[in-house]
Amino acid sequence: MTDQPPATAAGVAAPLGRESVTGLILAGGQARRMREAAERGAGGPPMLPDCLADWQGWDKGLVLLDGQPLLWHAQRFLAPQVARLLISANRYLELYGRYGEAFGDDPTLGDAQGPLAGIATALARIHTPWLAVLPVDVPHPPADLFVRLAAALHEDGRARVAFASIRDGDTERDQPLCMLLHSSLQEDIRAFLFAGERRVRSWLGRVGALRVHFQGGEGVFGNINTPQDLAMMAGPVPRAPRAPHRSQCRKS
């Protein structure tokens, strides 16, 4: 992986052009820690009533934050920036389908192959050169997330994928699933999975991904994994990014 230094104000140019990008919300996880909290009697998180009526287990994207499912927060952020919105989900496809085009993992990739299976399945469905990926459990990403990733790819001119990382003093925390990648990587991901691999960081290193640094701060890239995380993230919803008007990605 290659580090991209923090961008200066001059380096952050125009937002991504939505006509060249498909968005993907990764919502296929099983909310294991949410489920464990409920099974311990610690109280499960609030979920959509329709979800509880047709119980298939805890599903993180349908957990409510400030009265709206986490999926709503992700859709609100991503939809204005892309030409089309896909949702990778392995349960409750009808509920997820209210917010975008919901689909399960390609069964030829095997069972429980993790987020890379969702990304590979999405790449087989798109017609744009770029795919912007956002996990459903990151409700408040930086407004310039995909602008910065696109700018890094444009400046590099060779890399086909960039992902976010938080830099806070001497501490750095990668956010490997907050990524922008080129559609030509579909076969590489499939080959990686068929070889028995599934770790996202290993795949990013294999393809020479760019690491783009963002400054840390309260709530930035906050992941919701437990009911406690959910309570800490509750509060005013940040303003969504404005609709984009042209692409920073190089021509495909």
Specify binding-site residues for GTP: 26-28, 60, 106, 137
CA triple 91-74-38, angle to 5 deg: 50
Q: Output Rg (C-alpha) for the chain, integer angstroms.
A: 17
Q: Which of 134, 142, 175 is nearest to 25 (CA)?
A: 134
CB 211 within 8 A of CB 174: yes
- Count of H-run helices and E-run strands, the chain: 9, 10
Q: Which two tokens stand for residue 172?
A: 């750095």
The C-alpha atoms of residue 147 and residue 153 are separated, in whole angstroms, by: 10
Residue numbering of the annotated binding site for Mg(2+): 137
Enumerate long-range contacts of 172-175, CB under 8 Å, 24 or more apart: 172/213, 173/216, 173/221, 174/201, 174/211, 175/138, 175/221
Residue numbering of the annotated binding site: 26-28, 60, 106, 137
CB 217 within 8 A of CB 169: no
The C-alpha atoms of residue 251 and residue 128 are separated, in whole angstroms, by: 11
